């Protein structure tokens, strides 16, 4: 047998438990805004799970609170694994750090510091001051991904932006005149709906509404309640009242972003159907997307998915506002008269984005691009 140094064994245990806490946190993706989705596991000295918790829909109770409440006296002497530093501020509930101390937890392993200025290290400080052993950094990369929306919102004042693009084998994204055509298959469709569920809001341009009349909901079985807020960029308020997103605006939140000069009659028409109208500045003949993103964050959006069309994708890439891009390439060709994809050259610039390996999904190929380095601050 190979002998393993005790510290290595402990690091391996920490990584394993943190991965489990991450899986719990994932359940909250797209449903905890404006709070981050956090996962927590209490593990006994004997190495058994005492209880688990994850941030509840709407953002409260916090993950640790759920695990601690369920554990009661069994939390004494246990180790808490948590994907984000326990909070130290008095929000709508008392600080999680205090609850951890009161419960008699012996050790806390946190993946990352909470960048929220009300916390930012003070949660860990409080735990240390109370004599709890604190370890930071296990599972950091995964935790950072899970909290990307929260980190973006509190440090940059805008949501984390994921651009999704479906491109045909010959580089087109829609049929002639913008006509909707199937580019990717069923497996991709399910994955895209999962991405919708894990987003707080989904954004399209008015061109996509006019061409496709999409619902922009999550239609995976049993996940209807996971639909994100639907947002349309529509400078002159051309969205018809008969559009599906307008007709269902009373049941599912729908926002339309328009220019300062858009007609107030059109605003009244859409507002009376239950649509929220947000006005932003224009830069030339385009809406100021940076301002729109700030507005979304101030309304609590942490994770924004962008689903089309070409003009929106192009503007966001040009304004350097894309944090992550998912490019799905379908197997068929659409021909010369179809609408070409915007230039994705910036994504393949290795100084700006890192590309994942290609991944087969049904007949399609998926590739993810992650922005590198310090992201743009507003
Ligand atoms: C935790 N555990 O599960 C989450 C945390 O408005 P409040 O009082 O709910 O506080 C929100 C802040 O708490 C949020 O900005 C983030 O810093 C942190 N989220 N903290 O200890 C959790 N979701
Ligand atoms: Zn908390």
Segment 122-149, tens digit of pLDDT: 999 999 999 999 999 999 999 999 999 9
pLDDT at residue 34 tops 90: yes
- Nearest-angstrom CA–CA distance, 256 and 238: 10
Q: How confident is the model at residue 156 (pLDDT cuts 50, 70, 90)?
A: very high
Instruction: Please give the pLDDT value at position 378.
Output: 40
pLDDT digits (tens, 9 = 90+) for 274-284: 999 999 999 99
Cα 98 to averaged position of ligand 1 atoms, centre (Å):
13
ipTM value for the complex: 0.96
* Mean pLDDT for the stretch of residues 346-367: 95
- Tell me what the pLDDT averaged over the chain comes to: 95
Q: Are 22 and 39 in contact (CB under 8 A)?
A: yes
- Nearest-angstrom CA–CA distance, 186 and 143: 30
- Ligand 1 surroundings by CB, under 6 angstroms: 35-36, 38, 55, 59-60, 62-64, 84, 86-87, 91-93, 96, 114, 116, 119
Token couple for 366: 């998926």
* Mean pLDDT for the stretch of residues 161-184: 93
Residues, CB-to-ion distance under 5 Å, ligand 2:
62, 87, 96
Q: Which atom from ligand 1 is nearest to the alpha carbon of 90?
A: 8
User: Peptide bond before 61: cis, by omega within 30 degrees of 0?
Assistant: yes
Q: Which atom from ligand 1 is nearest to the alpha carbon of 89?
A: 8
Instruction: Please give the pLDDT value at position 180.
Output: 86
Q: What is the 3-state secondary structure (H, E, C) of 91-121?
A: CCCCCHHHHHHHCCCCEEEECCCCCCCCCCC
**Residue nearest (by alpha carbon) to ligand 1 atom 10:** 91
Helix (H, G, I), strand (E, B) or coil at 179: coil
Cα 132 to averaged position of ligand 1 atoms, centre (Å):
21
Q: What is the percentage of the chain residues whose pLDDT exceeds 90? A: 92
Catalytic annotation present for 307: no
Concatenating the DSSP letter of every residue in 344-356 gives -GGGG-TTTEEEP
Q: How confident is the model at residue 375 (pLDDT cuts 50, 70, 90)?
A: low
Cα 36 to averaged position of ligand 1 atoms, centre (Å):
7
Q: Which atom from ligand 1 is nearest to the alpha carbon of 154?
A: 15
Instruction: Please give the pLDDT value at position 100.
Output: 98
Residues listed for the chain: 378
pLDDT at residue 303 tops 80: yes
**Residue nearest (by alpha carbon) to ligand 1 atom 14:** 35
Distance set, CA 213 to CA 120, 177, 205, 232 (Å): 44, 15, 11, 12
Cα 20 to averaged position of ligand 1 atoms, centre (Å):
20
Nearest ligand, CA 93: 1
DSSP 252: S
Bridge partners for 351 per DSSP: none
pTM of the predicted model, to two decimals?
Answer: 0.95
**Residue nearest (by alpha carbon) to ligand 1 atom 12:** 35
Q: Which atom from ligand 1 is nearest to the alpha carbon of 60?
A: 9
Bridge partners for 164 per DSSP: 326
Cα 53 to averaged position of ligand 2 atoms, centre (Å):
12
pLDDT at residue 164 tops 70: yes
Cα 169 to averaged position of ligand 1 atoms, centre (Å):
44
pLDDT at residue 374 tops 70: no
Find the catalytic residue in 22, 46, 64, 186.
Answer: 64
Pairing of strands 339-340, 172-174: antiparallel
Distance set, CA 117 to CA 100, 123, 130, 150, 161 (Å): 20, 11, 21, 12, 22
Angle subtended at Cα 206 by Cα 202 and Cα 207, rounded to the nearest 5 degrees: 115
Nearest ligand, CA 67: 1
Token couple for 236: 């002159």
Helix (H, G, I), strand (E, B) or coil at 128: helix
* Mean pLDDT for the stretch of residues 341-353: 94
* Mean pLDDT for the stretch of residues 170-179: 91
Q: Which atom from ligand 1 is nearest to the alpha carbon of 62?
A: 3
Instruction: Please give the pLDDT value at position 377.
Output: 45
Give the number of other Cβ atoms within 10 Å of residue 349's Cβ. 11
Pairing of strands 276-280, 282-283: unpaired
* Mean pLDDT for the stretch of residues 250-269: 97
- H helices of the chain, in order, are 6-26, 63-71, 96-102, 122-129, 140-146, 148-156, 186-197, 206-212, 244-247, 264-271, 289-298, 310-318
Token couple for 83: 């994907």
Report phi then psi at 254, rounded to 5.
-135, 125
Q: Are 27 and 3 in contact (CB under 8 A)?
A: no
**Residue nearest (by alpha carbon) to ligand 1 atom 16:** 35
CA dihedral 71, 28, 93, 134 (to 10 degrees): 60
Q: Which is more confidently placed, 224 or 157?
A: 157
Instruction: Please give the pLDDT value at position 177.
Output: 85
Q: Is 242 exposed, middle or buried (0-12, 13-18, 19+ CB in 10 A)?
A: exposed
Instruction: Please give the pLDDT value at position 59.
Output: 96
């Amino acid at each position: 047998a190979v002998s393993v140094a005790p510290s290595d064994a402990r690091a391996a245990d920490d990584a394993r438990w943190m991965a489990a806490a991450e899986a719990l946190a994932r359940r909250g993706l797209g449903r905890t805004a404006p709070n981050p989705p956090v996962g927590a596991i209490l593990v006994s000295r004997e190495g058994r799970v005492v209880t688990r918790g994850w941030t509840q829909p709407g953002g409260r109770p916090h993950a640790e609170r759920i695990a601690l409440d369920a554990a009661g006296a069994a939390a004494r002497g246990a180790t808490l694994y948590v994907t984000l530093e326990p909070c130290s501020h008095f929000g709508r509930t008392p600080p999680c750090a205090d609850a951890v101390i009161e419960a008699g937890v012996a050790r806390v392993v946190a993946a990352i510091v909470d960048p929220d200025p009300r916390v930012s290290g003070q949660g860990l400080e409080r735990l240390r001051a109370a004599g709890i052993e604190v370890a930071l950094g296990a599972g950091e990369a995964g935790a950072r991904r899970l909290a990307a929306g929260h980190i973006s919102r509190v440090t940059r004042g805008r949501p984390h932006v994921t651009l999704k693009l479906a491109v045909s084998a010959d580089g087109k994204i829609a049929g002639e005149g913008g006509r909707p055509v199937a580019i990717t298959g069923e497996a991709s469709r399910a994955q895209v709906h999962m991405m919708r569920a894990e987003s707080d809001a989904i954004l399209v341009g008015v061109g996509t509404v006019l061409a496709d009349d999409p619902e922009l909901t999550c239609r995976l079985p049993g996940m209807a309640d996971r639909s994100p807020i639907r947002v349309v960029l529509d400078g002159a308020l051309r969205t018809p009242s008969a559009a599906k997103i307008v007709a269902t605006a009373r049941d599912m939140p729908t926002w339309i972003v328009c220019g300062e000069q858009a007609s107030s009659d059109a605003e009244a028409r859409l507002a009376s159907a239950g649509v929220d109208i947000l006005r932003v500045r224009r830069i030339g003949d385009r809406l100021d997307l940076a301002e729109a993103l700030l507005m979304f964050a101030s309304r609590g959006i942490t994770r924004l998915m962008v689903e089309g069309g070409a003009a929106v994708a192009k503007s966001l890439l040009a304004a350097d506002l894309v944090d992550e891009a998912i490019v799905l390439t379908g197997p068929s060709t659409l021909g010369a008269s179809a609408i070409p994809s915007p230039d994705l050259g910036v994504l393949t610039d290795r100084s700006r984005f890192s590309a994942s390996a290609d991944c087969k999904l049904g007949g399609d190929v998926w590739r993810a691009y992650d922005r590198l380095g310090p992201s743009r601050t507003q």
